[in-house]
Amino acid sequence: MEQSERLDLLIVGGGIGGVLCLKYAKAAGLSALLLERKSGVGGIWQDLPAWQDIQIARQDWTLGSVPIGGEDQASIRDNIQAWVDRFGLSPFIRLNTEVTSARPVATGWEAQTNDGFYRSRYLVAATGGHNRPRIPAVERIKSSIEECHSSGLRDASVLAAKDVVVVGGGASAYDLLDLCFEHGAHRVTWVYRSLKWMRPTRRPKHTAADGRRLARQQMLGVPLATTNSLINRDLHIRYAKAGLQEILPDGTFDLRHHQLIPGRRRMIGNFSRIERYRGEIAALDGRTVRLLDGRSFQGDTLLWGTGYNLDLGFLDVGGLSGLNHLEDLERRCGSLFLSRDAPNLSFLAPAVLETNNVSTPWAYALACKSIVSHVRGADVFDDTPVSGHVNGFDLARFLARRDRVSYPRGLWHPKFLYELFCRPRHVPMPIP
């Protein structure tokens, strides 16, 4: 099929970011389509195992009265579909439509799919940053160890009575360590090169953090240095109280570069039972795991909690299609979202996925509103790069200085303050 009409906006990717972008585009009267290669919306939440979940409470994930059943994978997938249903977006979504190539042309963009050509004035890449499971290249010598990336562990009960090796130093690895103890692994060995900060707690991770407290500080203008100092003091106290000083990350916590990952209570409660190695795997030899420094140990199952690589192979733009990491893409964007490599191209992933100290739908909603303003001609963004993340509610401040359509002077700030201080903790924030 060849599309004859040139659209205002073409959105590639049907995760929560792409769906919200379509919602704001249609509300603004733009001709827009969303192309999704899978059979349903939801992005990565379509394929993740059932045990995967978000790191915040459901009332902090959802917005307004769009329904959500819980923090688990199925509930998040269904919540994304609920946005489609609530705002009547289905006629503007093409499922089972994979974009094989998108390139800039004189009139904007042209996308080749398995269903034909689509043309638009503007393109939003909403494919996220969790596209390809990242598994380091290691030598395998008649390896008999079962290997699995965190995204492929469909049934965690298979870990029972196994000698499990977990690799990685971030949220995925912390989840896998937690699962090992939940399902009765016989022995747990942990290999990590570096560590990301977490907020140690014995509470369930969905109740462990209050993102609105941080938001209130930001909206009241508390200096970043003060906020960082308070967070660092709290984190060091928590690591000491939990007996985790041996895995304190290097350096100090900085909101411009780090996430506030909630701790995993089973991992923390069983910390003394974890055999830990700081290093990198060089080879898998039979049941033996060999590290680069020569140390070795045995294992039955190896779980890669090493995250994901970026995949922008569909973009026919020099310098973009070969990028592997979100931080690399971030450096190629102006004003957080606008591509510096091609005209009329925006990305949703870099400025949202790497912060994670605020509700993802809320951050996406703010970004999408301003991207739509830009598409409509407001010149919200320029090609000036931004150093570090603009985290949490500071994203609203950042966008308000540039997008007066979405943030009327003198009105938006009091409104946000009211919502943060007067809305009950258990009630979701309104749709921006």
Q: Is residue 429 domain-resident?
A: no
CA gap 399, 118 in Å, rounded: 30
Partners of 116 in the beta sheet?
113
CA distance 171 to 151: 12
Task: Give, in order, the Cα–Cα distances in Å from 153 to each of 98, 146, 191.
Answer: 26, 11, 18
Identify the DSSP state of 346.
E
* Amino acid identity at 285: D
In this predicted structure, the answer to whether residue 175 has a pLDDT above a threshold of 90 is yes
Using the predicted structure, report yes or no on whether residue 353 has a pLDDT greater than 70.
no
Write down the residue that tokens 């769009």 correspond to: 66
Does 272 lie in the same domain as 166? Answer: yes
Both 401 and 292 in a single domain?
Answer: no
Taking residues 152-172, report their average pLDDT.
97
Nearest C-alpha neighbor of 52 from the set 79, 75, 83, 82: 75
Residue 98: enclosing H or E segment and its boundaries?
Answer: none
CATH code where residue 30 lies: 3.50.50.60
Band (pLDDT 50/70/90 cuts) for residue 157 is very high
CA distance 45 to 53: 9
> Could you give the number of structural domains in the chain?
2
- With beta carbons less than 8 A apart as the criterion, state whether 372 and 21 touch: yes
Lowest mean pLDDT among 17-31, 294-308, 352-366, 415-429: 352-366
Dist. CA 333–CA 419, nearest whole Å: 31
CB 115 within 8 A of CB 97: yes
Asked whether residue 255 falls in the same domain as residue 390, the answer is: no
pLDDT at residue 284 tops 80: yes
Cα→Cα distances 53→45, 149, 280, Å:
9, 16, 27
Residues 165 and 180: their CA atoms lie apart, in Å, by: 10
Establish if 432 belongs to a structural domain.
no
User: What is the value of pTM for the model shown?
Assistant: 0.94
Distance of CA 172 to the CA centre of its chain: 12
pLDDT digits (tens, 9 = 90+) for 46-74: 999 999 999 888 888 999 999 999 999 99
Q: What is the average pLDDT across 374-381?
A: 95
Question: Is 2 a member of any domain?
Answer: no
Does one domain contain both 19 and 153? no
Residues 314 and 292 in one domain: no
Kindly state whether residue 147 falls inside one of the protein's structural domains.
yes
Residues 291 and 412 in one domain: no
Backbone phi, then psi, for 387, in 5-degree steps?
A: -90, 120
Residue 268 lies in a domain: yes
Nearest to 346 by CA among 115, 109, 40, 114: 109
Residue 236 placed within a domain: yes
Say which residue, 166 or 218, is predicted with more confidence. 166
Q: Do residues 16 and 114 both lie within one domain?
A: yes
> In this structure, are residues 35 and 10 in contact, taking their beta carbons and an 8 Å threshold?
yes
- Percent of the chain residues past pLDDT 70, beyond the cut: 97
Task: Average the pLDDT over 296-301 and give the result.
Answer: 97
Residues 160 and 277 reside in one and the same domain? yes
The first and second tokens of residue 403, run together, are 């997008």
Three-state DSSP class for 380?
Answer: coil
Residue 319 binned pLDDT confidence (cut-offs 50, 70, 90):
confident
Q: In the listed set 308, 334, 366, which residue is the last one of a domain according to the structure?
A: 308
Does residue 284 sit in the same domain as residue 364?
A: no
Measured distance CA(7)–CA(105) in Å, rounded: 14
Helices 16-27 and 73-86, axial angle in degrees (round to 10) = 10
Q: Residue 1 pLDDT more than 70? A: no
Say what the pLDDT of residue 357 is: 62
The rounded mean pLDDT for the chain is 93
- Domain of residue 86, residue span: 7-131+310-422
3-state secondary structure of 60: helix
What is the rounded distance in angstroms from the CA atom of residue 414 to the CA atom of residue 220? 10
Query: How many CA atoms are closer than 13 Å to the CA of 82, on its beta-carbon side?
Result: 15
Residue 349: pLDDT above 80? Answer: no
For the segment 208-218, the average pLDDT, to the nearest whole number, is 81
Strands (E), 70-186: 93-94, 99-105, 108-113, 116-125, 132-133, 139-141, 146-149, 163-167
pLDDT tier, 194 (very low <50, low <70, confident <90, very high otherwise) = very high
> pLDDT digit string (tens) for 93-116?
999 999 999 999 999 999 999 989
- Residue that finishes a domain, picked among 272, 290, 308: 308
Which amino acid, residue 177?
A: L
Please say which residue of 251, 283, 308 terminates a domain.
308
Q: Would 415 be classed as within a structural domain? A: yes
- Which whole number is the average pLDDT over 265-277? 97
pLDDT(4) > 70: no
Contact 360, 138 (CB under 8 A): no
Q: Are residues 138 and 127 in the same domain?
A: no
* CA–CA–CA angle 379, 391, 77 (5° rounding): 90
Residue among 390, 327, 330, 392 at smallest CA distance from 357:
392
Both tokens assigned to 234: 């709290």
> Is pLDDT larger for residue 60 or for residue 21?
21
Euclidean distance between CA atoms 425 and 427, whole angstroms: 6
Bridge partners of 142, per DSSP, are: none
- 427 domain-assigned: no
Closest C-alpha to 393, from 430, 427, 362, 415:
362
Q: Do 348 and 288 have their domain in common?
A: no
- Say yes or no: 188 and 319 in one domain: no
Q: What pLDDT was estimated at residue 190? A: 98
